[in-house]
Structure 1
Amino acid sequence: MTCARLSTIMEMSKKRAGDISKDFQNCHDLIPGLPSELAIECLVRVPYQFQSAMKSVCRSWRSLISDSSFIIERRRCGKAELLLCLVQPLSPPNPASKTVGETLVMDEKGEKKLEDESPRVFGTPRFGLSVYNAAMSTWNRVAFPEQQIPLFCECVALQDAGKILLIGGWDPETLQPVKDVYVLEFAGEGSGRRWRRGSPMTESRSFFACASVGSTKVYVAGGHDDQKNALRSAEVYDVEKDEWSTIAPMTEERDECQGFFMETDLGFCVISGYATESQGRFRSDAESYDLATNSWAKIENIWPFQDTSPRGRIAGDMRGSSRLWCFTDQLPSETKDDSRKCKLDVETIQLPVTGSSVFAGSLGGEVVVMVGGKRESEGEGVMMKMKTEKKIGKWSGHIQIPYGFSTLPFSQSSIYV
């Protein structure tokens, strides 16, 4: 390598490393003999699966990898790995299948916990948190410190904080809605990919709308309580303060609704759902929450399928856009009025398969759709990907899902590590 080329790399590395915490800018012992800028360039390129072991090398490595800016630097140089986290029912054991992979996770006391590799299912299904690493094409199940995660809990990511949250759902034993919040640490000071309990919601709820807003907050709204009553109430969680605060209630009760955060003037959006007295008849409208005024506004004629829940059917890349995509094997019951300008655009995309159950979600700049059906009962599933840049395009690839991970998820989120 020429001296000029090395000098250029050094200058670029120094500029990029400037965003890493100041504690490491003058650290000369990250890799002996290398300037800190080049040492950081080397360390951010190590695959995520080895980072836990790297923390045991020395204090400076542990401090660097535990710093929240480390993931930001990995993203900047294109080495961050994208994880798709899925809350899904656990498949019953298959004697002919290989052992399901598993990620070892420590609880908040630092004790190692392992999840049963071969869950037994009797009547009520058990739920687990599965992780697909898009960069490595691997599947793993994250061990949980409790016996099992709450059924039908919401999974939401806070990228800048390096956290995955599991919120609400049903108690696995009583089948009643809960207020519980579990936080999985993927990054940050002292992180060991550990679970901790967050402060509980002010109200027990399940099948509610949920979305992260900004770097530290999660908004929830609607769902139903322990008496199966649809809810209008809404609240917000500040993960840094570990506090919940109530916000203005929605104008309508909305059970089995779907939530999104749109980085436009729409803010937190809650789509469809149904009232207590009209269970199973899904509303066609939505509501958007204005964070500045603490008020809700209705958006008419968004969801055209009266007999179908929007949950698991809608996905999209909301970065600076107000477009969402609905994936279905049926046509809308009503024709959308193109003459009416709508702040929120939900475009219907017909799947290339019919008669199958589906779940759609977002994975970086792509939409992923998991397809169930006959293949699922045989222990296999298919996940299709579609680009969302500019205009929705053709399916870009099919991913075979191994046995143990092929059941359709209830909720999902993705995070860079």
Structure 2
Amino acid sequence: MSKPDRFNHPPLVDTKCFCRADGGGGLKTSNPCLKPNVKPSIHPIGRVEKTRNQPTLIPFLPDDLAIACLIRVNRIHHCKLRLVCKRWNRLLSSNYFYSLRKNSRLTEEWLYVMKRDHKQGKTTFHSFDPVHHMWQTLPPVPKEYNTAIGFGSAVLSGCHLYLFGGKDPVKGSMRRVVYYSVKTNKWHRAPDMLRRRQFFVSCVINNCLYVAGGKNEGATTNPPSRSAEVYDPTKNRWSFILDMDVGMVPVSSIVYRGEWILKGIVSGSYRPESNRWFSVSGGLVSGWRNPCGTLNGKIYALDCKDGCRIRVYDEKDDSWSKRIESQMHMGNSEAFEARVVIELNGKLCIVRNNMSISMVDVSKCNDMDEGIIVDEHLWETITGKGQFKTLMTNIFSSLAGRNRVKNHVLHCQVLQA
């Protein structure tokens, strides 16, 4: 009987499919598998071509198995992986690497915050890992947005953070659009808007960016704008939509059941499928507080300055009769003022000026009756690494009567990678 040939075993992975490289059940995707060659990104990162003399990604491992290992590395370590070699950097910056993580349900949601230091007058950009409770400083925002005011932000395709419009202290109102890519960790240019505008509102519906209202050219004599426009990233261009009935500088806006609702002097809503504006009134508008957000088809608004009490909109009764309250309030100092309410990992995330974060598990309150729910187990206040000292400084400053806020949160979004 001949000895078994150890070199004739079946391959560990199918070179035509990376989904079978996981020994613990495999990666389940509904889309056809991609070819081993790294696809070129839309960003200027260069083309990855395989040559005979090119070394493997990981010594003694085929590239398909190496990629199957790399996509499982937590995001917190991606910045270190990029430093290993140029080929790893190109791989992690490619659409291909991102699509593999997304199709394998390995993407992680991080919080991205822009804050302005009132002492230096500069805008800084940070990311927060909710799993490891770690803050990271990111590449600075483009210089035109370093001191700009009244600009908007939105996320498209889950991994691109857009900044648009606003007022430059020297040039006035802007049409400029830039975006930050999680894949490349860099800022890029995008097509300018069709109108200059500042202090407007925006939203994302079906991965298209909508903007409306605001002021034009920065002149105080000009009436508020009635114009509205939409950006389609697949076509990479802006186009006008139907003008609003009344020009206004909206206070806030949300997307609720596929409809864009704006609150201002005159409130209204926009439906993309019909390209029409409608008037809005009733309990939704009268009880609306800012900031607010949506999660699992419900609208939540903060009911106090520090964001430790939440109001819930009841569509059946057209009222805000439900409330979720924490037993620990932080005070009325501007440092503790809640600036953003956003969804993060299936929970309601509240971000304050001092960069403290509260996570509220509102899923346990979906069947609540009218009234107030007081449950400290629903709330989790997070102070990331490097922020505890700032939090304690703000507490002692508040006790001493020095309530001037040093940092002001401008925008906060959630990106996946």
User: Aligned pair in 2 of structure 1 residues 141, 33: CA closer, same or farther (>3 Å)?
Assistant: closer
Other-structure match for 1:155 = 153
Counterpart AA for 2:356: V
1:105-127 Cα deviation digits (max 9, x unpaired): xxxxxxxxxxxxxxx24xxxx33
Evaluate the alpha carbon distance shift between residue 67 and residue 87 of structure 1 in structure 2; reply closer, same or farther with a 3 A threshold: same
Is the aligned partner of 1:144 residue 2:141? yes
In 2, the alpha carbon distance for the partners of 1:41 and 1:358 equals 41
Q: Are positions 1:325 and 2:325 aligned together?
A: no
Query: In structure 2, do the counterparts of structure 1 residues 196 and 347 end up closer, same or farther at CA, with 3 Å as the change threshold?
Result: farther
1:355 aligns with 2:382: no
Normalised by the size of structure 1, how large is the TM-score?
A: 0.68
Distance 1:149 1:193, change over 3 A: farther
Map of 1:165 onto structure 2:
162
TM-score between both structures, scaled by the size of structure 2? 0.68
How much has 1:60 moved relative to structure 2?
A: 5.8
Q: Deviations over 1:41-89 (max 9, x none)?
A: 3101223354355456567645542332433443565643322122322
Q: Which runs of 5+ in 2 are unaligned?
A: 1-9, 14-19, 39-49, 367-372, 392-404
- Which protein is bigger by CA-based radius of gyration? 2
Query: 68, 84, 88: which one pairs with 2:115?
Result: 88
Write the deviation string for residues 377-412 of structure 1: whole angstroms up to 9, x where unpaired.
xxx553211124364685431122624997342322
CA 1:20/1:180 → structure 2, altered by over 3 Å: closer, same or farther? farther
Aligned AA (1:164): L
- How many angstroms does 1:165 deviate by? 0.5
**Letter of the aligned partner of 1:317 in structure 2?**
L
Query: Structure 1: which amino acid aligns with 2:188?
Result: R
Aligned match of 2:273: 292
State the one-letter code of the partner of 2:162: L
> Would you say the 8 A contact 1:205–1:223 is kept in 2?
yes
Match of 1:39 among 35, 42, 66: 66
Check the 8 A contact 1:170/1:177 in 2, yes or no: yes
Give me the whole-angstrom Cα distance separating, in 2, the residues matched to 1:66 and 1:81: 16
Query: Does the aligned pair in 2 maintain the 1:85–1:414 contact within 8 Å?
Result: yes
Q: How does 1:127-142 map to 2 (within 5 A)?
A: 127-142=123-138
CA distance in 1, matches of 2:314, 2:107: 42
DSSP-derived class of the 1:203 partner: coil
Aligned pair count reads 344
Is the Cα contact below 8 Å between 2:115 and 2:123 reproduced in 1?
yes
Alpha carbons of structure 1 residues 240 and 195: separation in structure 2 relative to 1, 3 Å:
farther
The within-5 A match list for 1:402-417 is 402=387, 403=390, 407-417=407-417
* Distance in structure 1 (CA, Å) of the matches to 2:161 and 2:315: 38
- After superposition, the Cα gap between the structure-2 partners of 1:84 and 1:381, relative to the gap in structure 1 and judged at 3 Å, is closer
Residue equivalent to 1:224:
215
Q: Secondary structure at the match of 1:87?
A: strand
| Structure 1 segments unaligned to the other structure (5+ residues) | 93-119, 275-282, 373-379
Contact 2:165-2:198 within 8 A present in 1 as well? yes
Structure 2 counterparts to residues 5-84 of structure 1, below 5 A: 9-10=22-23, 12-13=25-26, 15-16=28-29, 21-24=34-37, 29-34=56-61, 38-52=65-79, 54-55=81-82, 57=84, 61-75=88-102, 79-84=106-111
- Partner of 1:329: helix, strand, or coil? coil
- The secondary structure found in structure 2 opposite 1:303 is helix
Shift of the alpha carbon at 1:14? 5.8
What amino acid is the match of 1:152?
A: G
CA contact (8 A) 2:27 2:104 kept: no
Give CA-to-partner distance per residue, 1:245-298, whole Å, 9 cap, x none: 110112333313323334x3x33x133123xxxxxxxx5x441x2222211223
% of aligned pairs identical? 19
Q: Does structure 2 retain, via aligned residues, the 8 Å contact 1:24–1:36?
A: no
Pairwise CA RMSD: 4.0
Does 2:193 correspond to 1:201? yes
* Alpha-carbon contact 1:81-1:416 (below 8 Å) kept: yes
- The residue aligned with 2:4 is none
Is 1:396 aligned to residue 379 of structure 2? Answer: yes
Q: Which residue of 2 aligns with 1:114?
A: none
